[in-house]
Amino acid sequence: MEVVVYCINSFTYNNQGGNPAGVVLNADNLTNLQMQNIAKHVGYSETAFVKSDPHCDFNVQFFTPNHEVDFCGHATLATFSLLHAKEIISTQQYSQQTKAGKLNVTVENDGSITMEQTLPKYLGVIASNEVADVLNIERELFKSTCLPCEIISTGLADIIVPVPLGSLDSIKPNFDAISALSEKYNAVGLHVFEVPHLPNNITATCRNFAPLFGIPEESATGSACGALACYFAKHNITPERNYKFNQGLSMNSPSIIIAKVREQVISNGTEITQVEVSGKAQCFDIKTITL
């Protein structure tokens, strides 16, 4: 049996950069083992498999080269960009069933994709020394942000890590130690960010390390940027609730991820009622895999 895999760059900037994802359409007859083998063969951080579902528009499963994951932002963007390019869907809202839940995805007139993520779960704070050591950053310098390292999930649990300005590019990650830390706290990996003194429309610059799932580093992480948006709102780092993150600069694959949260007033403050992440994608290759 031959399986066609579309190769899509997600969260591109001016049609450049982005994070590659594989997308397989009409995957109803594939087993989990076959999907895992395809994802391993493709070798991207995630490959999405699109199936039919009687209760929503699409059912989508996501596989890294060595694990199935509940949700993937950049592979979701890749999937719906491809469906739109092939005129399977038009510019409107659709629902996708994922293992993180049923989520809405909107195709915009300009071809950008806006995906809903699950409401944030705040899963705890990690001692800064633990995180500083796995990133090989001096402990006292690491603490100078005065912000916590916090586990947040908007579909996948990520450890959100603030670092001082000027530290991001010089990080020398210990991948074995990051894997051990991620496993200890039941997280996918570390989403590390710094906030520029002069934002120039960029809220933060990010790097993402998920070696536990076979992803040493990736150039755009939609799910983690959704969690990062919730972190920014929770700690009121900026007054706005619309965020523009860039990622992939260290990999020579610059990416732009737009994130937005909506809040409502409650008795003791505010709570987030919606999380959305947006971006654009572009197909760059088609592969045929024989099972």
Is 276 catalytic? The answer is: no
Residue 159 β-bridge partners: 151, 190
Check if the beta carbon of residue 165 is closer than 8 Å to that of residue 193: no
Q: Which of 46, 116, 150, 194 is catalytic?
A: 46
Q: What is the DSSP letter of 13?
A: B
Single-letter code of the amino acid located at 110: D
The residue type of 127 is A
- Judge contact between 163 and 171, C-beta under 8 A: yes
Give phi and psi for 186, each to the nearest 5. Answer: 55, 45
Q: For 170, which DSSP code? A: T
Closest by CA to 35, choosing from 21, 53, 47, 19, is 47
Element (DSSP H or E) covering residue 204: strand 204-210
Residues whose CB is less than 8 angstroms from the CB of residue 199 and which lie 6 or more positions away in sequence, other chains included: none
Whole-angstrom Cα distance, residue 170 to residue 14?
26
Token code pair at residue 154? 């908007």
DSSP 5: E
Q: Tokens in use for 28?
A: 């109803």
Report yes or no: 118 and 153 within 8 Å, Cβ to Cβ: yes
Token pair of 75, please? 């592979």
Q: How far apart are CA 225 and CA 252, in angstroms?
A: 19
Positions marked catalytic? 46
